[in-house]
Amino acid sequence: MSHADTMPKPRRNVELLLLVLALSVSIGANALTSIDEQTSLDTDFWFQSSLLAVASLVFHVVLRLRAKYADPVILPLVVALNGLGLAMIHRLDAPGDDTGNNQLRWTVIAMAVAIAVIWFLKDHRVLRRFTYISLAVSALLLILPLVPGISAGEILGARVWIRLGPMTFQPGEVAKITLAIFFAGYLSSNRDLIMLAGRKIGPMQFPRFKDMGPMITAWLVSIGVLIFQRDLGSSVLFFGLFIVMIYVATSRISWVVIGLTLILGGGFVASKVFSHVALRVDSWLNAFTEEVFGRSPGGSGQIVEGLFGMASGGLVGTGLGQGRPNLVPFANSDMIIASFGEELGLIGLFAIVMMYLLLFTRGFRAALGTRDAFGKLLACGLSFAVALQCFVVIGGVTRLIPLTGLTTPFLAAGGSSLLANWIIVGLLLMISHTARGPVDTSPMQPGRTPEAQKPAAPAGGRQDRNATQTLPDAPTEAVKHL
């Protein structure tokens, strides 16, 4: 029922309990792999485990101080996923490799940034002010990898990396967030306008052509990413994000139809015109033909090896540290799902996918609960982006759809992805804090009263639409009266 009926509960103790559980899963997984690799539980292990535990508990304390009504399940879920990823990456490290420790460093940095976001932002509605700045930042982030000097060049066929001193960074991951902020800000301001007009064809109301502007822009951005960065996964992700947000903003299924038509059309043309897309599709459809299997680069060896790994895992898996996930190329990044499938089996992988499902469900809950349109759109968009990203990655690994180079959120090795996804978690926690907390009716700041206006806006929109629909009937009524 309504939040006003009962006193909202912070539920921070529940979070603490779940967090201990999540940490014991993560650290337990790490311990198992250490034992199986026949390295004793050395100081490295204890240092890594305590670092993760301390960082998680600091995060928890920050939530107690700054967002005490935040959803208590989100943080433990993410810590568990992140910790499992750390264990697997650590386990896949060949002697001398440092990917595991690097991932741990990035985890700590990412959690620190997420904490900073919560600490300094205080309220997600502030972000609405940065609607157009977000657009500019998104554009900048997407163009950076193409700028000579900053660009890290073409890595594994995609130009999505920039060089920051000794490190490489994938700005597209962060662009996912800034784009979501822009869409949320733009759509929450203009949704009434877009919703209002349109032609009705069959059961669906189609928008006016001039309201298609944002859609066309989003489509062009996606196509641009596909052509210039050669990154099919991000392209699909950006466009999916936009479709969902405009659908939520307008409640018009026609947007989804138009969007899907555009993406299918664009995808079809791209698969004909661009060899990198055609190769992806070919190695998906013909994965088990000798020519495609052996082709390098762009062959299906990676997918097929991943499938072999998952098949060998079967129902219960080989056990952590007992399988041979390192036979699969990119076992700790793009194909980490196959590594988990092999060692934890169907049951373990279902549990991981279930954690993602719970995570995005909690995000959608926050979207439902929060009272401002901007927050709803942002939470819904970010949650859907996480879900879509999981679908694209896991679907690719299991050969449901063509494999694209997206990372598995929180699990896969990669600093940019961790950073971006932890920021998303920070934002979702903040939105859930306002969603679950006591109703704050006071205006946030003078001149900016998103909440006060919001209840009126949809109602107004609905009335307007009713008015336009009843207009043609009006003369008839008038005639009757005469």
Partner 1 sequence: MNQAIRHSWIAAVAMFALIFGAISYVQVVGADELKANAWNRRAILQNYCNDRGAILVGGAAIAESVPGNESCKFQRKYNQPELYAGLTGYFSRSYGVTGLEGAMDAQLAGSSDQLFFDRIGQLFLGNQPKGASVELTIDPTIQKLAYDLIPDGQRGSIVVTDPKTGNILAMVSKPSYDPNSIATQDIAKEQAAYNEAIKIPGVNLNPSVSGPTGALLAPGSVFKLVDTAAALNSGKYNADSVLPNPAQMSFPGIQYQLPNYAGGNCYTRTTASFAFALQQSCNTPFASIARDLGENAIAQQASKFGFGQELGDQLKLDYAKSVFPSDLDAAGLAQSAIGQRDVRATPLQIALMTSAIANGGVQMAPNLIKAVRSPDLRVIEEPKPVALRTSTTPEIAGQITDWMTSVVSEGIGSGAAVPGVQVAGKTGTAELGDGLNNSWFTGFAPANDPQVSVTVVMQGVDITTGAQLTSPNAKKIFEAVLNK
Alpha carbons 225 and 236: distance in angstroms, whole number: 9
Near partner 1 by CB under 8 A: residue from 55, 84, 380, 429: 380
Longest dimension (CA), the chain: 95
Residue 256 CB, shortest distance to partner 1, in Å, is 9
Classify the phi-psi angles of 430: left when phi > 0, otherwise alpha if psi is within -120 to 50, otherwise beta: alpha
Nearer to partner 1, 52 or 92 (CB): 92
In sequence order, what are the residues at sequence separation of 6 or more whose Cβ sits closer than 8 angstroms to the Cβ of residue 475? none
Near partner 1 by CB under 8 A: residue from 376, 405, 429, 450: 376
73, 18 Cβ separation under 8 angstroms = yes
Question: Cis peptide before 297, with omega less than 30 degrees from 0?
Answer: yes
Site for partner 1 in 306-335 (CB under 8 A): 307-315, 324, 327
Residue 245 CB, shortest distance to partner 1, in Å, is 9
Strand partners, 164: 167
4, 369 Cβ separation under 8 angstroms = no
Q: In terms of Cα–Cα distance, which of 359, 426, 348, 339 is closest to 25?
A: 348
Nearer to partner 1, 150 or 457 (CB): 457
Q: Is position 161 an interface residue for partner 1 (rule: CB under 8 A)?
A: no
Nearer to partner 1, 151 or 250 (CB): 250
Total of residues contacting partner 1 (CB under 8 A) = 48
Q: Is position 228 an interface residue for partner 1 (rule: CB under 8 A)?
A: no
Strand partners, 199: 206
Site for partner 1 in 396-425 (CB under 8 A): 398-400
Matching residue, tokens 């399988």:
323
Residue 366 CB, shortest distance to partner 1, in Å, is 10
For the chain, the first-to-last Cα distance in angstroms comes to: 49
Q: Is position 57 an interface residue for partner 1 (rule: CB under 8 A)?
A: no
Burial 241-270 (b: 16+ CB within 10 A, else e): bbbbbbbbbbebebbeebbeebbeebbeeb
Q: Is position 391 an interface residue for partner 1 (rule: CB under 8 A)?
A: yes
Near partner 1 by CB under 8 A: residue from 116, 193, 368, 474: 368
Alpha carbons 233 and 244: distance in angstroms, whole number: 17
Q: Is position 162 an interface residue for partner 1 (rule: CB under 8 A)?
A: no
Alpha carbons 174 and 153: distance in angstroms, whole number: 19
Nearer to partner 1, 298 or 395 (CB): 395
Nearer to partner 1, 104 or 305 (CB): 305
User: And the tokens for 108?
Assistant: 């700590």
Near partner 1 by CB under 8 A: residue from 175, 394, 418, 429: 394
Residue 469 CB, shortest distance to partner 1, in Å, is 19
Site for partner 1 in 174-213 (CB under 8 A): none
The radius of gyration computed from the CA coordinates of the chain, to the nearest angstrom, equals 24
- Candidate ranges 52-60, 360-368, 420-428, 429-437; the one touching partner 1 (CB under 8 A): 360-368
Near partner 1 by CB under 8 A: residue from 304, 330, 448, 465: 304
Near partner 1 by CB under 8 A: residue from 288, 445, 455, 474: 288
Contacts with partner 1, 236-275, as mask; x by CB under 8 A = --------x--xxxxx------------------------
User: What are the CA-CA distances from residue 329 to residues 86, 285, 307, 332, 394 (Å)?
Assistant: 18, 19, 12, 8, 15
Q: Is position 214 an interface residue for partner 1 (rule: CB under 8 A)?
A: no
Q: Which residues bind partner 1 (CB under 8 A)?
A: 244, 247-251, 288, 293, 304, 307-315, 324, 327, 341, 345-346, 349-350, 353, 356-357, 360-361, 364, 367-368, 373, 376, 380, 383-384, 387-388, 390-391, 394-395, 398-400, 458
